[in-house]
Amino acid sequence: MNFVLDPTQWIDRYADYLFSYAYLRLNHRETAEDIVQDTFLSAYKARAQFKGNSHEKTWLTAILKHKIADYYRQKNDHEPIDRYLEQTQDSFRRRFFDDPKHQGRWTTRIAPTLTEYQVETHINSIEFSQTLLQCLGKMPPKLHQIFTAKYIDDTDSEQICKDFALSSSNYWVIIHRAKVLLRACLAQYGFFAP
Amino acid sequence: MKQTLHYLFHNCEEAGRLSLMREARQLSLRQQIFLHIHLLFCRCCRNFGIISAAIDRNFAHQRRQMSEQPPLVASEEWKNKLRDELNQIAE
């Protein structure tokens, strides 16, 4: 199959998709807009190199992916993740695992309680999806980047550890904290709230 | 002994972490036993597991939908700006 490019239709067809793709990974509107804009312009300039062996949407997404990777490389965030996890450990525990009677158990007021019925009715609803994304957006950047690699990009755990130079134990601490934060945020919006 | 029991019943953080890890890899025997017993007695952690699975399922659902129905809509103003820029370099 030979695919062709039709740049006159790009914005109508792919702007929302590419913007969503970028925003979910960058968590910043202006940055996402700039990078998608840059993607369209570079793609247009490089259109002679398009070989037609993939759909133009796939081709544009691949360019965007590279741009996002470049952005993170240039951002040069050098604060080591272990230090971040250490520094935030106490406040995380105080907030979530500080039952006054039994230290280490869920702090009762945010203990998750729900029925199977609640889960099944919410799980793929638009409200739940939108709220989940909103809560994802509130996650601290250090956690956000790793969490989206797993749940938005669907990258497997070993690969993420390699890509971010993470130890396996830190990786699971991050995923767990991120999930706990998401759950608390969902409860604030009334999902699975006690 | 008291310490072991405290660890067993009052370490919801560890239990949550292990229940996530379990999805991706085999736990050690010690971890399996701890998690099993803890979940037997801790309703909160069982519920957390249910919510966590719900979150996973929703993300999987959203990944499948992403391409057909992007979850976000970019602003019209920005799209118009983009159209202008593409037109400009096309001329």
DSSP output for B51-76: HHHHHHHHHHHHHHHHTTS-S----H
Chain B residues whose CB is inside 8 A of the A97 CB are 12-13
Q: What is the pLDDT along chain A (194 residues), one digit of tens a residue?
A: 678 888 889 999 999 999 999 999 999 999 999 999 999 999 999 999 898 888 999 999 999 999 999 998 888 677 888 899 999 999 999 999 988 888 888 886 555 556 667 777 788 889 999 999 999 999 999 999 999 999 999 999 999 999 999 999 999 999 999 999 999 999 899 887 76
* Cβ-defined contact of A106 to B17 (cutoff 8 Å): no
**pTM exceeding 0.95:** no
The neighbour count for residue A182, using CB atoms within 10 Å, is 22
Provide the terminal-to-terminal Cα distance of chain B, rounded to the nearest Å: 80
- Give the Cα-Cα-Cα angle A160, B72, A176 (nearest 5 degrees): 35
Yes or no: is domain A7-75 CATH 1.20.1050?
Answer: no
Taking the Cβ of residue B82 and every Cβ of chain A, the question of whether any pair is shorter than 8 Å is answered with yes
Interface predicted TM-score (ipTM): 0.89
Domain with CATH 1.10.1740 in chain A: 7-75
Helical pair A168-188 and B12-24, crossing angle rounded to 10 deg: 110
Closest chain B residue to A22, measured at CA: B72
* Cβ-defined contact of A112 to B44 (cutoff 8 Å): yes
